Amino acid sequence: MHQDTRVIHIGEGQVPEADPLTTPIYETTTFRFASAAAVEDYYEGRASSFLYSRYRNPTVLAVEEKLAALDDAETARVFSSGMGAVSSTVMAHVGAGDEVVCAAAIYGGTLHFLQDVLARFGVSVRFAPLEELAEPDQVPGPATKLLWFESPINPTLRCVDIARVASACRRRGVISVVDSTFASPYNQQPLALGADLVMHSATKFLGGHSDVTAGVVAGRRDLVEPIDLTRRLLGTVLDPLPAAQLGRSVKTLGVRMARHNENARRVAEALEADPRVSRVYYPGLESHPDHRIAAAQMRGFGGMVSFDLGGDYQRACRFFDRVRLFQRATSLGGVESLCSLPVATSQRGYTAAQLERAGVTPGMVRLSIGLEDPADLMADLSQALA
């Protein structure tokens, strides 16, 4: 064979005698078959081989097994982003004529997908305020197919009684989905509380290093497997390389979350004691309106802290511009501490009425507390508040 031919084919494929400690990165678009019969066996479900990485990939499959174990789920699926997980999950389970009920206090991307995209395809979308979710029995209507909510909620850290909402949904035959991104599986187990599905933006605490964009949905097999087709056709599957990075990161989730929890608690307590701050939002504080709910369903209270500077956007901007150690950036859950202004980022595009229903003010600041020394973090916040 010519050199051009040899260099393409020699050295490719598996090494049978290799037994790697960690899962190799199968960065390949397609997989080979030994015969036409092997192709038929694949499509007829008689073989667990692989065809194409948009359908199924060994690296991605290994990471899904880890993530399912974290949420104590029957199975899990990963996606190219948190919004990929949101859109694929909702579109797999609802169609024209169905209703989706979503908490009014919700991440902006979820709100805009439901309100601006899904509603164009004959799906009715209704946003329920927290007061209704506190008494959830009457929330699902006759056409409701799926109910979506967060706990803790971005950015107010309000908490919803997951078991109570899930029970109300189960009685009405409605699928309950919890976005548990702010908690992570280390701090909260929505499936054990009765939720049907749990979703995480794996970009955040699961990835943990601000270098992977991904999403995950976990739950019962009969509810997760229908999402496969939607994910395959929408093309929202995660590439093997970031999947391997995600798999590596979740191995340290426990030790990282313990530090996030402790640092956030200390920062929240310091801010609450500071007279320059009008209000602190952290479910670990007894002053938080949902502290009892959080204490009952969370192992730890997470690494997110929000606070209000009197509802004054200009004052919040001045604080934002003065931080030094905290990085002015969106997202959350990484080892480095971040600072953002919700009305300018995660809740951008909300109307005044939507902001009010979500409990978000122009003077709110959101902090993602990283793994730095807590004394350094508190010193930076103090000088920025000056």
Max CA-CA distance within the chain? 78
Rg (CA), the chain: 22
Instruction: Give yes or no: 221 in active site.
Output: no
The active-site residue, picked from 26, 66, 71, 107, is 107
The active-site residue, picked from 54, 170, 220, 248, is 54
Polymer length of the chain:
386
For residues 381 and 386, what is the distance between their CA atoms, to the nearest angstrom? 9
Instruction: Give yes or no: 54 in active site.
Output: yes
The active-site residue, picked from 26, 158, 161, 179, is 179
H-helix or E-strand spanning residue 108: helix 108-112
Q: What are the phi and psi torsion angles at 200 (to 5°)?
A: -130, 140
Q: Which residues of 346-357 are buried (b: 16+ CB within 10 A; e: fewer)?
A: bbeebeeebbeb
Distance of CA 302 to the CA centre of its chain: 13
For residues 20 and 15, what is the distance between their CA atoms, to the nearest angstrom? 10
The active-site residue, picked from 204, 231, 357, 366, is 204
Is residue 320 helix, strand or coil? helix
Kind of pairing between the strands at 99-103 and 124-128: parallel
Kind of pairing between the strands at 215-219 and 75-79: antiparallel
H-helix or E-strand spanning residue 178: strand 175-179
Q: Are 242 and 354 in contact (CB under 8 A)?
A: no
For residues 73 and 353, what is the distance between their CA atoms, to the nearest angstrom? 37
Which among 346, 325, 344 has a CA at the least distance from the CA of 336?
325
Under DSSP, the state recorded for 114 is I
For residues 142 and 58, what is the distance between their CA atoms, to the nearest angstrom? 41
- Which tokens sit at 215? 């999403």
Strand ranges across the sheet with 124-128: 75-79, 215-219, 197-200, 175-179, 144-150, 99-103, 124-128
Which residues carry out catalysis? 54, 107, 179, 204
